[in-house]
Amino acid sequence: MMARRLFLFAVLVAALVAASVWFADRPGLVTVHWQGWRVDTSVPVLLVALLTFMVVMALLWRLLSTVVAAPGRFLSRRRESRRQRGYAALSDGLAAVAVGDRRRAGKLAKQADKLLADTALTGLLTAQAAELSGDEAEAEKRLSGMVERPQTALLGLKGLLTLAKRRGDTAAALDYARRAWALGSPAADLAADLFDLQARAGQWVEAEATLDEARKRRALPPEDIRHRQALTQFERSVQAERDGDPASALSLALKAHQSDLTLAAVAARASRLLHRAGKERKAAAVLVSTWQVAAHPALVEAWLALAPAETPLQRVKRLEKLVKANPDAPDGHVALAEAALAAKLWGEARNHLELACRQRPSAAIFILLARLEREEHQNEAAAQAWMAKVVTAPAEPAWHCAACGKPADLWASTCPACGTLDSLWWGQQTQALLPAPGQAAEKG
Ligand SMILES: [Zn+2]
């Protein structure tokens, strides 16, 4: 670099010297007349004067343009710094929202809003900060603003959906969920929300369409989709039977059973409708297939309903077929013991009661054991000993709602107490899950 500059300088000096020598060798005079003025000078002096004038003009021009551009440069630097501070406030604010720091989130949201002056960018933060501080009206306003922009519409609708769900406005929630789903999102929570809202509104056909779309978008795991499908087909079967269409009721019940083999109420329904249609063998097969994977007393009840007029001995024989399909199920042994008691098959009754007692002791089993002592040996003392154990026996399994904790007599796709979809579970309610006596009294 240095060498090149030195070389250029040398060339320039040489050129100047050559030009000076050239002009010195060729002297001449110049006379300028202008407005009564007269200037006499030599050509080299005129050239030097011209050159000096040009250099001065160039310097002046440069100075002037610097002065003129200064405010603009100052403003753009200031804008840049504002933007950077705005983005910092935005990201810090979102971090504050994530950890639930309400105060800091609100402060940073205001800052970002002021510094960035672009509501599309700050909408999410300001909406979430407003939500955190409980200002739902402001949050809703901000989220609605986001809905108008295609890039943030999904985020806005999901936020509005959350707000609507929180205040229990299911109609508005369903509307937001539907609009958000229409944008083509593959979000699992959105698919589940829309399905739940449609199901709660009794729109089972629409709910099933949501599941079909969720399968295409891979929004939900396949087994989850099949389970939800069983719920919709079950409900549609109930509706068809109510509408006086037994053929559709049966085909929907069978579809529901195929979708989820573990639902006892679904299998019981399919079996009952098959029995009514005269398809005895299939009615029994449906119950056995569910009994093998998820034994349940409702299946025993449905099994007994297939032959209501049979003798006690016939009943024992037929029940044995079901029990054999899943010998680990205590409910099968209890049912068989009860049938054996009725048929006065004491030994068989005792066998099955002892098996059931080992698998899952319960009040019902103790009562049957007491009955056995009375009926077989007329042993009242032994019977009383079993009856004494009933009081402290573990609670019988029953349907309970996972959402509200209330018990339910029968399985249903939605909790009869609180309306939550698919919340009923079968089992022994533990003490920890029961409401405290004080609370129960308050509610009562
Ligand atoms: Zn409930």
Where residue 17 falls among pLDDT bands split at 50, 70, 90? confident
- Ligand 1 centroid to Cα of residue 230, in Å, is 20
Q: Is 230 within 8 Å of 266 (Cβ atoms)? A: yes
Question: What interhelical angle do 297-305 and 264-276 show, nearest 10?
Answer: 10
Whether 72 is in a domain gets the answer: no
Domain count, the chain: 1
Q: Which two tokens stand for residue 158?
A: 């999901």
Q: Is residue 160 part of a domain?
A: no
Q: Which 8-state DSSP code applies to residue 396?
A: P
Output the six-digit token pair for 377. Answer: 């040996």
Question: 106 lies in a domain?
Answer: yes
For ligand 1, the distance from its centroid to the CA atom of residue 96, given in whole angstroms, is 34
Tell me the percentage of the chain whose pLDDT exceeds 90: 63
CA of 226 to the centre of ligand 1 (A): 23
> Ligand 1 center to residue 407 CA distance, Å?
8
Among 4-8, 249-253, 286-290, 334-338, whose mean pLDDT is lowest? 4-8
- Asked if pLDDT for residue 432 goes beyond 90, the answer is no
The answer as to whether 126 is a domain residue is yes
Q: Please report which confidence band the pLDDT of residue 438 belongs to, taking 50, 70 and 90 as the band edges.
A: very low
Distances in Å between the Cα of 424 and the Cα atoms of 96, 229, 235, 416 are: 37, 17, 15, 10
Q: Which residues pair with 408 in a beta bridge?
A: 399
User: What's the gap in Å between 423 CA and the centre of ligand 1?
Assistant: 7
Summarised one tens digit per residue, pLDDT across range 344-369 is 999 999 999 999 999 889 999 999 99
Instruction: For residue 411, report the distance from its CA to the centre of ligand 1, in Å.
Output: 12
Give the pLDDT score at 280.
Answer: 95
pLDDT interval class at 439 (50, 70, 90): very low
100 in any annotated domain: yes
Q: Specify whether the CB–CB gap between 43 and 30 falls below 8 A.
A: yes
Of 86, 91, 94, residue with least CA distance to 115: 86
Taking the centre of ligand 1 as the mean of its atom positions, its distance from the CA of residue 224, in whole angstroms, is 20
Q: Name which of 344, 328, 270, 341 is nearest 303 in CA terms.
A: 270
Q: Is residue 319 part of a domain?
A: no
How close is the Cα of 424 to the center of ligand 1, in Å? 7
- Distance (Å) from CA 220 to ligand 1 centroid: 24
More confident residue, 439 or 423: 423
pLDDT for the residue 172: 97
Report if residue 314 sits inside a domain. Answer: no
**Biggest CA-to-CA distance, the chain:** 156
pLDDT tier at 430, thresholds 50, 70, 90: low
Q: Would you tell me the crossing angle of helices 204-217 and 188-200 to the nearest 10 degrees?
A: 170
pLDDT recorded at residue 157: 95
* Dihedral sign, Cα of residue 338, residue 340, residue 341, residue 347: negative
CA 434 / ligand 1 centre spacing (Å): 13
Residue 412 counted as domain residue: no
In angstroms, rounded to a whole number, what is the distance separating the alpha carbons of residues 219 and 119? 30
Ligand 1 centre to CA of 435 (Å) is: 13
CA dist 333 → 236, 255, 374, 380 (Å): 34, 30, 20, 24
pLDDT over threshold 80, residue 109: yes
Kindly state the average pLDDT of the residues 191-217. 96
List CB contacts of 140: < 8 A, sequence separation 6 or more: 160, 163
Tell which wins on pLDDT, 45 or 214.
Answer: 214
* Gap from CA of 199 to ligand 1 centroid (Å): 15
Distance CA 300, CA 322 (A): 8
Mean pLDDT of 286-314: 96
125 within 8 A of 133, measured Cβ to Cβ: no
Q: Which of the residue ranges 103-117, 220-234, 393-407 would you say has the lowest mean pLDDT?
A: 103-117
User: Which regions of 105-204 does DSSP assign to beta strands (E)?
Assistant: none
The single-letter code of the amino acid at 141 is K
Query: What's the CA gap between 372 and 380, in Å, rounded?
Result: 10
| Cα 405 to ligand 1 centroid, rounded to whole Å | 6
Going by C-alpha positions, the residue among 323, 327, 328, 359 that lies closest to residue 340 is 323
Distance 169 CA to ligand 1 centre (A): 18
Query: Are 261 and 289 spatial neighbours (Cβ–Cβ below 8 Å)?
Result: yes
Whole domain around residue 93: which residue ranges?
A: 78-149
Determine the distance separating the centroid of ligand 1 and the alpha carbon of 269, expressed in angstroms: 22
In percent, how much of the chain has pLDDT > 70? 95
For residue 210, how far is the Cα from the chain centroid?
14
> What is the phi/psi pair of residue 204, to 5°?
-70, -35
Query: Torsions phi, psi of 434, nearest 5?
Result: -75, 145
Rounded-to-integer distance, Cα 247 and Cα 269, Å: 13
Q: What average pLDDT does the chain have?
A: 89
Q: What is the radius of gyration, based on Cα positions, of the chain?
A: 44
Is there a contact between 413 and 422 (Cβ–Cβ < 8 Å)?
Answer: yes
How far, in Å, from the CA of 418 to the mean position of ligand 1?
4
430/335: higher pLDDT: 335
